[in-house]
A and B are shown apart, each in its own frame.
Chain A
Amino acid sequence: EVYLEERLHELDLRSDSDVPDVPPPTDSTPEILKRALSGLSARWKNWWIRGILTLAMISVFFLIIYLGSFMLMLLVLSIQVKCYHEIITIGYRVYHSYDLPWFRSLSWYFLLCVNYFFYGETVADYFATFVQRREQLQFLIRYHRFISFALYLTGFCMFVLSLVKKHYRLQFYMFAWTHVTLLITVTQSHLVIQNLFEGMIWFLVPISSVICNDITAYIFGFFFGRTPLIKLSPKKTWEGFIGGFFSTVVFGFIFSYFLAQHQYFVCPVEYNSETNRFVTECEPSELFQMKKYSVPPLLQAVLGWETVNMYPFQMHSIALSTFASLIGPFGGFFASGFKRAFKIKDFADTIPGHGGIMDRFDCQYLMATFVHVYITSFIRGPNPSKLLKQLLILQPEQQLSVYKTLKSHLVEKGILQPSLRG
């Protein structure tokens, strides 16, 4: 008995050996495409499929942007759910644990809990006026953390009660797998939505920079690639990496220039409770007003200009594109390592020629967090509507004393005139 156990334990830990690949995914290319491309050789056919699907995805992206913030939020939520599903399914396959008691329900339940918590914390802030009017919502908001915690606890207790004698280890593995997946997918998607509310440009420029880096690094690698970059991804090359970096910075710079001109992209998304719609209308902040910059003497000789008119945001876009090109790929390497560790070729078969949704979004992992941290550190302080919400929860005496402190501060700074009533 002991011998068998030890052998199993050993095999469990055995270093990855060259095990044959998982059989290639079933071909989910639509019939139409297949017929249209039936004449070409297999290599070119693959290239065309990838190209067409890329264009299709980019078009869908533009369409959703046109449809507005609400559709974008729904899209982000759907992608999050699909990514979660893909990673959990991989976990089931790795551990052959599809039939574990309760586990599928528990995984979805935890996803629901965590989403409920995050949506309540962030999105509810933006709907403050909407919420003020409805009694039941007020109750939910006030005790939100308690309710979320109670929901999570229920799931935790269900997990403990579902532990079955012969499956302890597996169940703990799946529990941990679920939590790490939640940590990755749900937090990222909520940060993406928060960035979106800051202004659609904070959503579009980072995502486009990552996509651009993907594509330009591939193209540079295709034409000039010679020196391998990292053993994890043998197809990546230094030439692709550096070429992609420079093109992405330039792309980000130019793309920001165009987006910064339209209020639709630049203004924080607000919810108008009268019209029950999202509005993006405002006085563009300083970031999006043209300024004159002196060109450093070094570049003056090259470009021939002494000053240039730019939006301050374009400087920030350089930081964003730099991150997308230098650190973003680490997200891709992480995913590659993950796929090799668990011996899968793609996360799923959702998109023909591309793999699963996660395969497309692996480089975006860190980008959303970076943008969020960047905004809170360098662009603005804490969220004003959240602050307002907390002020309104205080006790009346506390509110009064806060009011007096604020008033004296504003008068001191000259923002408020003491003689006016306003």
Chain B
Amino acid sequence: NLQESESENKLDAETASDSESRSEFGGSAPVPTSDDTPEVLNRALSNLSSRWKNWWVRGILTLAMITFFFIIIYLGPMVLMTIVMCVQIKCFHEIITIGYNVYHSYDLPWFRTLSWYFLLCVNYFFYGETVTDYFFTLVQREEPLRILSKYHRFISFTLYLTGFCMFVLSLVKKHYRLQFYMFGWTHVTLLIVVTQSHLIIHNLFEGMIWFIVPISCVICNDIMAYMFGFFFGRTPLIKLSPKKTWEGFIGGFFATVLFGLLLSYVMSGYRCFTCPVEFNNDTNSFTVDCEPSELFQLQEYNIPLVLQSVVGWKTVQMYPFQIHSIALSTFASLIGPFGGFFASGFKRAFKIKDFANTIPGHGGIMDRFDCQYLMATFVNVYIASFIRGPNPSKLIQQFLTLRPDQQLHIFNTLKAHLVDKGMLGSLEDA
């Protein structure tokens, strides 16, 4: 018994530092991922050397994904939302599977069911909040929806609690630590995956341009940084990802800002991208039709003197949104990569090469989306802070649920405020 506890103490001490024998993940040969490149591609590329073959496979798949992206955009908001949902579920599945593999806990009692149940609960909560906001009139009309919406938080909480109690009841004597690990793992995964996907959907409802430009900037930065690194790369950027270089980083930054400016210019001209997505009660479908806001109306800007000599123009016609796109692309290029480094660190920590084998040549869905983590949150916070304030119709809805005395108090305060600002005369208007 003493020996056992000694060896366990030794184990604990050794988990403190990854053992000496473990080197960069490239050193200890990971199990090669099974080759699921389609037969077609295999035959077409059978003549090339394996290095070029890999490059071609990656290239073709990249083009395939980008084409797919354009198709879904064409198909509209509903399809986009569904795709976001699917990506979210796949990412969740990938990360949870890694957890199972790390802890060999695939057979833990109840645990698979509980993980999916928690995913369902959290999604129910977030979708309920979103649906209530954007589909307000529809919800108010249908009786069951109205009740679900009114007591939404209570229902969500009850569902979550049920999962929590099931977890407690499922604790099994010899597996406590593992079960708590998986519980923690599930919650952190939910925090990362589900919140991001819902913020993306919020951004989407603000206008498809707020969805497309950020995601494209991250993809562009990925590709540009790779190319600049390929041709000019010399100085390593960070020990975590030995393939990244400063040249790639900086080149990618400038290329992405430029790309963002151009893409925004092209997109700002179309209503289907710039208008908030709304649900039309009469046609029961999504519409994107509106009077474009100031952000999407061409304005004349004076070029700062410094650039005048370079560019040769005195003024330039731009959309205000393009200025915002600079902020978005800057974030995508400077901070987005940290999401990628985080994922690299994660893969090294748990000694995996890729999150999964879903996309040939690229790895799992998470591998493609790791830089997008922070982008969605940033865009959402950016919109809420700098673009628009709170949504007036939502405020009116909230107002209608208050008690009469509260309503009166708010009304009078608002009135006094407007009178103060001179927007309202002392006499009442109709």
| Interface 1/0 per residue, B344-361 and A, CB below 8 Å | 011011100000000000
Q: Is B234 an interface residue (CB 8 A)?
A: no
**Cβ contacts under 8 Å, B176 to chain A:** 16, 337-338, 340-341
Task: Say yes or no: B103 contacts A13, CB within 8 Å.
Answer: yes
Q: Give complex CA distance A399, B19 in Å.
A: 63
A168-B348 CB under 8 A given contacts A12-B15, A95-B15:
yes
Q: In whole Å, how far is B344's beta carbon from the nearest beta carbon of chain A?
A: 9
Distance in Å from the Cβ of A117 to the closest Cβ of chain B?
11
Within the complex, which residue of B157, B238, B342, B346 is in contact with A369, where a contact is CB–CB below 8 Å? Answer: B157
Minimal beta-carbon separation of A209 from chain B (angstroms): 17
Docked CA distance A421–B425 (Å) = 12
CB distance from B194 to the nearest CB of A (A): 13
Is there contact, CB below 8 Å, between A156 and B377?
no
Asked if B51 CB lies within 8 Å of chain A CBs, one says no
Q: With an 8 A cutoff between CB atoms, is A2 at the interface?
A: yes
Residues of B contacting A376 in the complex (Cβ-Cβ under 8 angstroms): 153
Interface bits B159-191 vs A (CB < 8 Å: 1, else 0): 001001101110101111111100011011001
**Are A381 and B349 interface neighbours, CB within 8 A?**
no
Contact residue among A8, A176, A179, A393 (Cβ-Cβ distance under 8 Å from B389): A393
The interface residues of chain B lying within 8 Å CB-to-CB of A415 are 404, 407-408
Q: Is the CB of A19 within 8 A of B5?
A: yes
Q: Is B385 an interface position by the 8 A CB rule?
A: yes
Residues A164-194 near B (CB distance < 8 A): 165-172, 176-177, 179-180, 183
For residues 396 through 426 of chain B, which have their beta carbon under 8 Å from a beta carbon of chain A? Answer: 396, 398-404, 406-415, 417-418, 421, 423-424, 426
A249–B260 CA distance with the chains assembled, in angstroms:
62
Let me know if A405 and B19 touch, CB within 8 A. no
Contact between A149 and B381 (Cβ–Cβ < 8 Å)? yes
A179-B191 contact given A16-B176, A341-B180, A400-B424, CB 8 Å threshold = yes
B170–chain A nearest beta-carbon distance, Å: 10
Complex formed: what's the CA distance from A334 to B163 in Å?
A: 13
Given contacts A13-B104, A410-B411, contact A333 B15 (CB under 8 A): no
Whether a CB of chain B sits under 8 angstroms from the CB of A35 is no
A330→B21 contact, CB < 8 A: no
Q: Evaluate contact between A167 and B407: CB separation under 8 angstroms.
A: no
Cα distance A378–B147 in the bound complex, in angstroms: 12
A145 to B387, CA, bound (A): 13
| Contact status B378-A172, CB under 8 Å | no
Name A's interface SS.
helix
A143 contacts B395, C-beta separation under 8 Å: no
Check B16 against A97 for contact (C-beta < 8 Å).
Answer: yes
Tell whether A374 is near chain B: CB-to-CB under 8 Å.
Answer: yes
How far apart sit A341 and B179, CA to CA, in the bound complex (Å)? 9
Q: Which residues of B contact A171 (CB under 8 A)?
A: 345, 349
CB distance from A139 to the nearest CB of B (A): 11
Residues of B within 8 A of A16 (CB): 173-177
A94 to B184, CA, bound (A): 15
Partner of B418, one of A97, A341, A403: A403
Q: Is A298 an interface residue (CB 8 A)?
A: no
Query: Is B28 positioned at the interface, with any CB of A under 8 Å from its CB?
Result: yes
The closest CB in chain B to the CB of A147 belongs to B385
* Nearest CB of B to A237, in Å: 17
Within the complex, the shortest CB–CB distance from A231 to chain B, in Å, comes to 7
B180 near A145 (CB under 8 angstroms)? no
Q: Mark A236-263, 1 if CB is under 8 A from B, else 0.
A: 0000000000000000000000000000
Q: Using a CB-CB cutoff of 8 Å, which residues 1-15 of chain B contact chain A?
A: 1, 4-5, 7-8, 11-15
Question: Which of chain B's residues have a CB closer than 8 A to the CB of A334?
Answer: 164, 167-168
Q: Which residue of B lies closest to A129 (CB)?
A: B413
Q: In A121-170, which residues have CB < 8 Å from any B CB?
A: 142-143, 145-146, 149, 153, 156-157, 159-161, 163, 165-170
B338 touching A156, Cβ below 8 Å:
yes
Q: Which of B157, B239, B341 is A370 in contact with, Cβ under 8 Å?
A: B157
CA distance A341 to B282 in the complex (A): 56
Q: In the complex the two chains form, is B151's CB within 8 Å of A398's CB?
A: no
Query: In this complex, what residue of A is CB-closest to B335?
Result: A153
Chain B hits for A421, CB < 8 A: 426-428
Q: How far is the CA of A50 from the CA of B187 in the complex (A)?
A: 35
Bound form: Cα–Cα A142–B386 in Å:
9
Q: Quick check: is B113 within 8 A (CB to CB) of the other chain?
A: no
Q: Does B240 contact A (CB under 8 A)?
A: yes
Residues of A within 8 A of B1 (CB): 20
Decide if A396 is an interface residue (CB 8 Å cutoff).
yes
A8 and B12 alpha carbons, distance in the complex (Å): 9
CA distance A385 to B20 in the complex (A): 58
Contact across chains for A395 and B385 when beta carbons are under 8 A apart: no
Can you list 6 A-B contacts (CB < 8 A)?
A16-B174, A167-B16, A169-B350, A232-B171, A377-B150, A381-B402
Q: Which B residues are closer than 8 A to A by beta carbons?
A: 1, 4-5, 7-8, 11-22, 28, 103-105, 150-151, 153-154, 157, 161, 164-165, 167-169, 171, 173-180, 184-185, 187-188, 191, 238-240, 335, 338, 341-342, 345-346, 348-350, 374, 377-378, 381-382, 384-386, 389-390, 392, 395-396, 398-404, 406-415, 417-418, 421, 423-424, 426-429
A residues near B, CB below 8 A? 1-2, 4-5, 8, 11-13, 15-17, 19-20, 94-97, 142-143, 145-146, 149, 153, 156-157, 159-161, 163, 165-172, 176-177, 179-180, 183, 230-232, 327, 330, 333-334, 337-338, 340-342, 366, 369-370, 373-374, 376-378, 380-382, 384, 387-388, 390-396, 398-407, 409-410, 413, 415-416, 421-422
